[in-house]
Structure 1
């Protein structure tokens, strides 16, 4: 047994010696292989990369150390499918700055890799950075100036434009307008960021102009332009309106319902209904005598569904409907203290006008308020008379008789204002019924217009 154990011990020792000898041979082979190849030499790598965005391009700046063996820098992008070689010309023995502008790049962000090389096949390790390129989407997303109001003067062939204010950090350099005057000469006007009002001379009705804003965003290398917006002056319409056989009364209040009916609330508190006919005339339909007494209510108008809004003489807001010829209250008093001078019905809300301030009020059909009310949407609102045309545009007449149009949103917000007519101070009231606009003069005569609130300039004083 002892001899067997000794034999096993000797065999294990021999195997260990054999394994060690083989391992030493392998190690010698590896060392020999690397000795034959020689030590790998790397060039100095690109350092301190910075990028500066441009329009569909980028400028990249970097630094190269004192390694004298560097001859070129290769820049890769698009997963190394695209590349460019930049020769490196050393001008100093120390650290040296270099740069490149890479053109025709897609908008967005992209990774770039840099590697120094020389004619001996030596290379550096890779350096990388992510660069940003601007494009059309970026330009359109900048805070461009807007044209807030357009006042066309037909007689003077002049278009007065009011621009939105610039703000700190908006990168606006200037704005630009291009138009062709009545003589066929193209004019380009540069509007500095400090200028908020501009006048286009020799500009006749129906002509167009283009408007855009020019930016120079920080840390960039390019001026950026947003797309031109095209504006057209309204076309002059010389129409006095069609006189209706319907007799009006300047002491009555008039409002529409559903674009089909004209309601008259007269001085006696009667509510008289006229239906709009296909030929544009109005036919008497119904009368509710004394249903809305004037000694109780100072304003009354159709609101929504089958509901009406009333403003009492003690400035309370209430909702009503007409049932079996009687005015029936819906719910409780909506609000108090409504001492504003004027109210304009819209879809699902109404405006109040007081001290030249325009506010929105949203009432539900169960005579309760919506969550947001009393929001000021305009100040210095100086139009009288005024009306909401087809629930899309506020139409108003100023002190000089010019007619103005302001688009509204479903939340009552106002868009950009346009002057769309002159000589409208011949009317003391204006009323909208569907696509018709009615003007009531001091004689109690109604004149009807197939109205367009955007493309026509209504000249009544020629």
Structure 2
């Protein structure tokens, strides 16, 4: 009897479980009325590249062949665009510009859809947009100097810039000697720009280029600035201020054979190391040259000074030696000093307005006001066979045009 009651109880419990299961199935049917939920495959590998009031959205459509469109939302779902999608048998790519965006950080939400209106799970991405606020913060790269030198080369020297602005280059437009417009781009790492065949004494236009970040699709530029580029010229003023400048040099006192003094130049006792009070002039190869020589029977030449004293107006000057023949050794200076004499050779480096080694073949100096100066040579050489022979000299006043 007891066994019968347990069997009956078990049967009742089984019936109740079956009824409960049927009720749960009926509850599930409420959520799938009209069919089961279907999701499309989402867009994959999304990247958003920054730009000027726009972004570029790149992505991939992978496995789902049913995708027919992509909808992109931004501005808290207030703005959107639908992009048609045509699937192929392979991986398909998206490259889409979203235009007319507000400057700043933008949040994007993306869904794919099929023809039945089924959509994917959302994809969230953030992008940055640059606009007028960024542009107004930009400035042109400053120029240190821009000129056409006396050698005919037009050169721009640039100052540095803060790299955090995204600056990467500067563009220069100019007119060449064929009246063609030429554009030269100079990287920010370069401190100078050479303008080949520049039309002298004309204008350049320049602007600076920026990329605000490493993924920017747009280059930002400052407005063009126009600047006049002067020509640096050498005006030959030799005949105005100097006498007896060579090719050939004229002789003053002369031994009638080879040696003498240079006419119109002051020569001190140290320069006259040749018997008879001669020195500074040599008749060499049929031409008179300005000469310093010691050795081959001639004594050492100690503190030899040969110069002219002249009055020069304020300006930038270049004193040039032409056709110089010399060896090395001793102290050999070109110098200019205030007053009626050159300093002694031992004092030239400390007491001159400017000085250079004769081997440089030129001396550049600047006078800020009119001055009486002595311009010439200071030499000390020993009797080991040292010499300096100069065929001519020129004086140039340098100016901008």
TM range (shorter): 0.3 to 0.5
TM superposition score normalised by structure 2: 0.43
Structure with the bigger RCO (C-alpha within 8 Å, sep 6+) is 2
Larger Cα-atom Rg: 2
